[in-house]
Structure 1
């Protein structure tokens, strides 16, 4: 099960976050800081799957953007790894003509609006 989804730039700033379990705002900040540090400190030659506390982190880098997904121990890492790529392809297709004309703020708001747990379930083929 997916616990959270983060989009982070190379400077370590969270650009988008979506949590699928309640996490207190103070704990979110600490969690994001530790998760981002764990992913950004790794080299390209290292595995994109990280064991972190009681869950796994799966991440991919696209230019200056890192996408990190936190999942429980039973989730298939390769399925999530491919899900990230499919998600990026959908965003690229959907926003390719629009993103150059909109301010970044509106782009992020639009992504957040489109990004819901129902869409995640559809991508994962859950009932």
Structure 2
């Protein structure tokens, strides 16, 4: 099971955090600081796989990928495959690249709702549900279309003074 997905910049500021097991806000912040401490102390030429027992408890691993100014970090237990998770990070980034035409940190900051929608289409409740980036993009576009339709219906109702059911 995937326990957490964290995207942080190279200064350690979290840009997305999604924990699939309850953690208090204070504990989440502590975990993010610990993860950043591990990531920034690692050399460039070492493995992207880390045993995270000391951070998240027993039977926990961490896989990360560094793209430009962002770290994409997935925390998971032994029921998941490390190479599969590394591939999942690639799918996530590839999907974001398609959504934002070469995703950057500002895209993540200003479009966090879309980003969470993409993540929710790939992972739900800590389980991987979709790995095809084209299918994820189609689903995200449909969701955004429905949201825009709902917003426009709401605006028309407000303008005409009618209630929307």
Q: TM-score, normalised by structure 2?
A: 0.67
Matched position secondary structure for 1:43: coil
Matched positions, count = 122
Tell me the distance in 1 between the aligned counterparts of 2:107 and 2:91: 24
Aligned with residue 96 of structure 1, among 91, 94, 101:
101
- 4+ residue runs over 3 A deviation: 102-105
- Answer yes or no: is the 8 Å Cα contact 1:9–1:66 preserved in 2: yes
- Answer yes or no: is the 8 Å Cα contact 1:83–1:123 preserved in 2: no
| Gap runs ≥5 in structure 2 | 133-165
What does residue 109 of structure 1 align with? Answer: 113
- What is the Cα deviation at residue 124 of structure 1? 5.7
Alignment of 1:59 onto 2:77: no
Matched position secondary structure for 2:61: strand
Tell me the distance in 1 between the aligned counterparts of 2:29 and 2:47: 25
Tell me the distance in 1 between the aligned counterparts of 2:27 and 2:108: 27
Tell me the distance in 1 between the aligned counterparts of 2:67 and 2:94: 11
What does residue 10 of structure 2 align with? Answer: 10
| Gap runs ≥5 in structure 1 | none
What does residue 70 of structure 1 align with? Answer: 75
Q: Could you list the per-position Cα deviations for residues 59-115 of structure 1 after superposition, in whole angstroms to 9, with x for gaps in the alignment? A: 000011100000012310000001101110010001118x79x87643223212332
Tell me the distance in 1 between the aligned counterparts of 2:99 and 2:46: 31
Matched position secondary structure for 1:123: coil
Assess, with a 3 A threshold, how the Cα gap between structure 1 residues 4 and 82 changes in structure 2: closer, same or farther. same
What does residue 35 of structure 1 align with? Answer: 35
What does residue 119 of structure 1 align with? Answer: 122
What does residue 22 of structure 2 align with? Answer: 22
Worse overlay, 88-97 or 70-79: 88-97
Q: Larger RCO: Structure 1 or Structure 2 (Cα < 8 Å, ≥ 6 residues apart)?
A: 1
